[in-house]
Amino acid sequence: MLQGLTDKLTLYLDPKEVDRIERAYHFSEKCHLGQMRQSGDPYITHPLAVANILADMRMDHESLMAALLHDVIEDTGVTKGQISRRFGRTVADLVDGVSKLGEVASASRAEQQAESFQKMTLAMSRDIRVMLVKLADRLHNMRTLGVLSPEKKRRIARETIDIYAPIAQRLGINDVRLEFEDLGFAAMYPLRHRRLREALKASRKNRKEVVSEIHQSIEMRLDKEMVKVKVKGREKHLWSIYLKMREKKKSFRDIMDVFAFRLIVDNVDDCYRALGIIHNIYKPVPGEFKDYIAIPKANGYQSLHTVLVGMHGVIIEVQIRTTEMEAMANFGIAAHWEYKTGNSNIATSQKKAARWIQGLLEMQQQAGNSLEFLEHVKADLFPDEVYVFTPKGQIVELPLGATPIDFAYSVHTGLGNRCIACHVDGELTPLSEPLKSGQKVEIVSAAGAQPNPNWLNFVVTAKARSAIRHFLKNQQHDESVDLGKRLLDQALSNLGTSYNKLKKSQIKMLLKETGAPTFEFVLQQIGLGNRVPFAVANLMVPVNKRKIVEDKKNSNLPVVIDASEGLLVQYGRCCHPIPGDPILGHLSPGKGLVIHHESCRNLKEIRRFPEKCMPLVWSSVVEGEFAVELKVEVTPERGFIAALAARMTEEDATIEHISVDERDALTSIVDVVLTVKDRIHLADIMRRARSLKPVRKVYRVKNK
DSSP letter assigned to residue 500: G
Judge contact between 279 and 266, C-beta under 8 A.
no
Dihedral over Cα of 407, 413, 416, 418: its sign:
negative
Buried b (16+ CB within 10 A) or exposed e, 334-357: bbbbeebeeeeeebebbebbeebb
What lies within 8 Å, CB to CB, of 484 at 6+ separation is 522, 523, 524, 525, 526, 527, 528, 533
Indicate the SS3 state at residue 701: coil
511: amino acid identity, one letter: L
Pairwise CA distance, residues 302 & 608, whole Å: 70
Whether the Cβ atoms of residue 90 and residue 113 lie closer than 8 Å to each other: no
**What is the 3-state secondary structure of 158-172?**
HHHHHHHHHHHHHCC
CA neighbor of 465 nearest in space, from 568, 592, 368 = 368
Bridge-partner residues for 450, per DSSP?
A: none
Q: How far is CA 423 from CA 430, 439, 464, 621, in A?
A: 9, 10, 19, 33
Sign of the alpha-carbon dihedral angle for 488, 492, 493, 498: negative
Out of 17, 22, 29, 74, pick the active-site residue: 74
Written as one letter, the residue type at 620 is: S
User: In terms of Cα–Cα distance, which of 449, 367, 443, 442 is closest to 117?
Assistant: 367
Rounded Cα–Cα distance for residues 2 and 545 (Å):
81
For Cα atoms 219, 221, 224, give the angle at the middle one, nearest 5 degrees: 105
Stated as kind and residue range, the H or E segment containing 391 is none
Among the listed residues 76, 65, 60, 56, the one whose alpha carbon sits nearest the alpha carbon of residue 25: 65
In the annotation, is 14 catalytic? no
Determine if residue 590 is left, alpha or beta; phi over 0 gives left, psi from -120 to 50 gives alpha, anything else beta. left
Question: Collapsing DSSP states into helix, strand and coil, what is residue 538?
Answer: helix
Measured CA to CA, the distance from residue 435 to residue 66 in angstroms comes to 43
From the list 527, 614, 616, 624, the residue with the least C-alpha distance to 568 is 527
Between the alpha carbon of residue 608 and those of residues 164, 573, 587, the distances in Å are: 56, 21, 13
505/89 Cα distance (integer angstroms)? 50
DSSP letter for 271, please: H
Selecting among 7, 14, 75, 662, the annotated active-site residue is 75
3-state secondary structure of 320: strand
What is the β-pairing status of strands 613-618 and 583-588?
Answer: antiparallel
DSSP code, position 36: B
454 HSE (CA, 13 A, CB side):
2
The Cα 277–Cα 482 span in angstroms is 70
Do 574 and 551 contact (CB within 8 A), yes or no? no
- The size of the chain, in residues, is 704
| In contact, 528 and 480? CB cutoff 8 Å | yes
SS3 89: helix
661 is an active site residue: no
Pairing state between β 592-597 and 583-588: antiparallel
Q: Which residues are catalytic?
A: 74-75
